[in-house]
Chain A
Amino acid sequence: MPSNIMSETKKHLVEVKDLKTHFPIKAGVLSRTVGHVKAVDGVSFTIEAGKTLGLVGESGCGKTTVGRTLIRLIPPTAGAFTFEGEDIFVASTGRMKAIRRDIQMMFQDPYGSLNPRMTVETIVGEALGVHRISTGNKRRDRVVDLLKKVGLSPEHLNRYPHEFSGGQRQRIGIARALALDPKFIICDEPVSALDVSIQSQIINLMQDLQSQLNLTYLFIAHDLAVVEHISDWVAVMYLGRIVEYASREELYANPKHPYTRALLSAIPEPDPTRRKPRILLAGEVPSPSNPPSGCPFHPRCPLAEEQCRHQIQALLPKGDSDQHVAACWKVK
């Protein structure tokens, strides 16, 4: 990340610097480590309070791992995550429990993310008990408040998850994430498992909540159209790295990195009479346990040259704006 973006970090709620998450590959009788899957390999970004950063990329590029590492569900290999000026990765277990009140997570699968044996009241109110915030009727009132906030009604309190539709379940997941009044919510593909019509309801709900409660989102998704709708800033990930980072308007109007261009060309056009050029990528995403040399995108890149095979470019400003950065030798 260039210094001109990092310099105005004072008002940033979230600062991630050079985050790496590697998983060891064990083999043999003695389970020796024979290599690493570099799921996340040097990711940096910042998010201002009350804003949304969209993190996009195809399956397996490490975007979910970024989210889970930030909330310390997966131990980080290297890097720092500064939240309100405090490094989360070095916090003690006790301190971490307190920090968890401010950082919450929303999950992708509306069926797998709710415990099927718990009632809605228990699911949404659990965090209030774990953090000893309220009990009994007070807790119930808080849960009712939360349910109303996400568009469910109090009569749903004693129901079980299997009695709800996918969209309703996702609303329960949002209520659970909001229970502790967090400041920062990591949204791990919260709408990708829903119907398109329900997607927009959930996205609008999330935007309403953001403006009401001044929430900050890290919005992880693979759907660029959804990201365009909700994000203020967008980071494009490929094979564990960010390849392009810009404000939403800039990125969608003026994509620089060939990978971003290929992704944007894949967004369906609602008007069937208009045809736009489609950039088709050859091949598959390489394995993160054995990434290509140089720029990780070069085996699939239409612009790749000799230099791309050996050297990787840092994220550098491209075009007119110094806030629009990309990691590519071929674009200026």
Chain B
Amino acid sequence: MTDSIQTTKNLQKPIKGRSLWIDAIGRLRKRKLAMICFGIILFYVFIACYVQVAEWTGSSWPTNWDESTGQKYESPNAQNIFGTDIFGYSILRKVLYGTKISLQVAFFASILSILIGVPMGAAAGYFGGFIDDVIVWIYSTLSSIPYILLILAFALVLKDKTPFGFKLAGATTVYLAIGLTSWVGICRLIRGEILKRKESEYVLAARAMGCSGGRIIFKHLLPNTFHIVIITFSLRFMSFIHAEVILSFLGLGEKDKPSWGAMIDSARLDLPKGYWWEMTAATLAILIISLALNIFGDALRDCLDPKLRTD
């Protein structure tokens, strides 16, 4: 016992190792462009959170987007820097409010698709055989249907349903529809990665030592594939924002609130008359975050992919 106390004392300062995560973050921080993009993404997230908090606390700005702040179709000016729409509503407030809806949809859809895709992919890859056949069959079927059509079908089916006494409407329908259809990509990636890694020697060593299947999946395999989840999360986030825009544009998303898609939908009729500012504001908002997510996601992939760092 005294011996064990001594060894523990000697160990007061074992050298702290640098994990692969810390390494990756260090490399990421050296990339200026990626960090600028990360700042832009954080700014969007901040706006979304601010709007949500304002809504909860009953604060007026910018949740009072449905109050007219001027004449109809005012071009951008000092009072309304993005101008006003047909009802004289401030387009700035609509864009800010739309940020919340878009980010909310993309966030929940990503979480949902990861929660479905990762366990399915891990199970298919690790257990193989019948389980693998069933899961591959399901995702092959889903991925053979054109993506937008599939989301539309899900959104139509889910719309105004009340499972468990909870009415599905607006943004909830949209992110359920996107989440339930888009787990295929991550599932396939994780399955492939697990298939590759389950033959590696550290997994063999874990099996030789008597680890259970669950322990091998959760302690050995998933931590080594988690960077893929993060990279996919950042890259898919963008396509989920686009999907929300398309669904809203087609009239299946938010009806009563101004999402970016709904704004583009209403502005499409104004554009031929020369009222370009609503379309421009919504499109710019989408363009900037898409670009930021894309560049940041690429940088993330470069930094997290262990293949670029072998030793």
In the complex, what residue of chain B is closest to A173 when comparing beta carbons?
Answer: B205
Q: Which of B63-71, B136-144, B207-215, B236-244 contacts A (4 or more CB under 8 A)?
A: B207-215
In the complex, what residue of chain A is closest to B10 when comparing beta carbons?
Answer: A154
Given A71-B208, A104-B209, A130-B209: A115 in contact with B17 (beta carbons within 8 A): no
Number of chain A interface residues as a range? 35 or more
Q: How many residues of B contact A (CB 8 A)?
A: 35
Contact A73 B208 (CB under 8 A): yes
Give Cα A137 to B201, complex, Å: 28
Q: Smallest Cβ distance from B268 to chain A, in angstroms?
A: 49
Q: Which of B29-37, B165-173, B180-188, B303-311 contacts A (4 or more CB under 8 A)?
A: B303-311
Which residues of A are found within 8 Å of B309, using beta-carbon distances? 162
B204 touches A (CB below 8 Å) = yes
Which residues of B are found within 8 Å of A157, using beta-carbon distances? 11, 14
Contact A116 B15 (CB under 8 A): no
Contact A100 B209 (CB under 8 A): yes
Contact A117 B7 (CB under 8 A): no
Give Cα A68 to B199, complex, Å: 12
Which residues of B are found within 8 Å of A173, using beta-carbon distances? 205
Contact A111 B19 (CB under 8 A): no
Q: Smallest Cβ distance from B282 to chain A, in angstroms?
A: 42
Which residues of B are found within 8 Å of A261, using beta-carbon distances? none
Contact A160 B18 (CB under 8 A): yes
Give Cα A159 to B23, complex, Å: 13
Give Cα A164 to B137, complex, Å: 43
- CB contact list, A76-113 vs B, under 8 A: 96-97, 100-101, 104-105, 107-109, 111-113
B257 touches A (CB below 8 Å) = no
Given A97-B210, A126-B211, A141-B7: A119 in contact with B17 (beta carbons within 8 A): yes
A158 touches B (CB below 8 Å) = yes
* Cβ-defined partner of A160 (8 Å) among B10, B14, B17, B209: B17
A324 touches B (CB below 8 Å) = no
- CB contact list, A131-162 vs B, under 8 A: 131, 137-138, 140-141, 144-145, 154-160, 162
Contact A127 B223 (CB under 8 A): no
Which residues of B are found within 8 Å of A13, using beta-carbon distances? none
- Highest count of chain A CB atoms <10 Å: which of B206, B207, B209: B209
Contact B201 A113 (CB under 8 A): yes
B200 touches A (CB below 8 Å) = yes
- CB contact list, A53-79 vs B, under 8 A: 68, 71, 73
Contact A141 B206 (CB under 8 A): no
In the complex, what residue of chain A is closest to B223 when comparing beta carbons?
Answer: A117
B224 touches A (CB below 8 Å) = yes
Give Cα A287 to B215, complex, Å: 37
Which residues of A are found within 8 Å of B60, using beta-carbon distances? none
A180 touches B (CB below 8 Å) = yes
Q: Smallest Cβ distance from A146 to chain B, in angstroms?
A: 12
A176 touches B (CB below 8 Å) = yes
B273 touches A (CB below 8 Å) = no
A320 touches B (CB below 8 Å) = no
Give Cα A225 to B11, complex, Å: 40
A114 touches B (CB below 8 Å) = yes
Which residues of B are found within 8 Å of A162, using beta-carbon distances? 20, 309, 311
A195 touches B (CB below 8 Å) = no
Q: Smallest Cβ distance from A161 to chain B, in angstroms?
A: 9
Give Cα A66 to B17, complex, Å: 37
Contact A113 B205 (CB under 8 A): yes
* Cβ-defined partner of B209 (8 Å) among A120, A127, A140, A144: A127
Interface residues of B (CB under 8 A from A): 3-4, 7-8, 10-11, 13-20, 200-202, 204-212, 215, 219-220, 223-224, 306, 309-311
| 18 pairs, CB–CB < 8 Å, chain A vs chain B | A107-B201, A109-B201, A112-B200, A112-B201, A113-B201, A116-B306, A117-B224, A144-B11, A154-B14, A155-B13, A157-B11, A158-B14, A158-B16, A159-B17, A160-B18, A162-B20, A176-B205, A176-B209
Top 7 A-B pairs ranked by shortest CB distance?
A: A159-B17, A113-B201, A100-B210, A107-B201, A115-B202, A127-B209, A97-B210
